Amino acid sequence: MADQVEAHYAGGGALADRIADSLRKAGKDLAGLKTADLATVDEFHIRGRKATLELAEHMKLSGAARVLDIGSGLGGPARTIAETYGCSVSGIDLTEAFCEAARALSDWVGLGHHVDFQQGDATDLPFPDDHFDAAMTIHVAMNIAAKDKLYSHAKRVLKPGGIFVAYDVLQGEGGDIVFPVPWAREPSISHLATPAEMTSLLTDAGFKILDVRDSTDESQQWFEDRLASLNASGPPPVSFQIFLGADFPAMTRNQVQNLKERRIRTVSFTCQA
């Protein structure tokens, strides 16, 4: 299953090179690149940087904080938080191609000294107990069947009182998912929990849930805006299509339908260890 998930996201390897080529074709100079130049590709989750900053507000971060990003992807959320708060962020992701690209993108924007990324399994975190001040996972658990292990390990590596934020796509009340979607082309690697199941999973892992926020309406509007842009002018020069391939427009259309019909919901949980 892990191999299937990694294959879904790997996109043929050499991801950093393909992103660099796309940036150059868009007229960007890698030597003078800013984080804003990566906005259309590096925050691979619904509502992008805005959602990341909302989550970060709940984490009560300082410049001395040590933060873990579980399922760090291309490193966008880690860089956003490191740049905004001046703290250090460690990312772990199942897909080595993502980790390699995350390191490269971080160096391009001068944040390599604040963030680090390694390949690893979110359900078996290679970190000691009580190690991080805060942790987050953004649009990751949809590919993980063993969510109990994911959340128990997140609890284990957090210091007592540390904040954990989980923002994911959850199973809605409107029926089965219409595929393909960004996290899966077919059902075998899609493992959505319901909001009620998430509550049980997090409390069973030992977390105290401090806040729950359903952002489904905003997520629907976000995808509708992107679909309108795709229909009008195609994907931007640098986009998720670099690693999702030709299915990307269909995934966007399906996400509008899935959200509109409440087949999925987007919900964030703020928890304390």
Q: What is the pLDDT along the chain (273 residues), one digit of tens a residue?
A: 566 766 666 555 588 898 899 889 888 898 899 888 888 888 889 999 999 999 999 999 999 999 999 999 999 999 999 999 999 999 999 988 899 999 999 999 999 999 999 999 999 999 999 999 999 999 999 999 999 999 999 999 999 999 999 999 999 999 999 999 999 999 999 999 999 999 999 999 999 999 999 999 999 999 899 889 878 887 777 777 777 788 888 998 999 999 999 999 999 999 999
pTM, entire model: 0.93
Q: What is the pLDDT of residues 107-144, one digit of tens each?
A: 999 999 999 999 999 999 999 999 999 999 999 999 99
CA within 13 Å, CB half, 226: 26
d(CA 161, CA 155): 10
Of the CATH numbers 3.30.160.620, 3.40.50.300, 3.10.50.40, 3.40.50.150, which one belongs to the domain with range 2-170+185-217+265-272?
3.40.50.150
The Cβ of residue 200 has, within 10 Å, a number of other Cβ atoms equal to 12
Tokens at 148, concatenated: 């109990």
Q: Strands 88-93, 66-70: parallel, antiparallel or unpaired by DSSP?
A: parallel
Packing angle, helices 76-85 and 48-58, rounded to 10: 50
User: Cβ distance 48 to 261 under 8 Å?
Assistant: no
Looking at the chain, how many residues does it have? Answer: 273
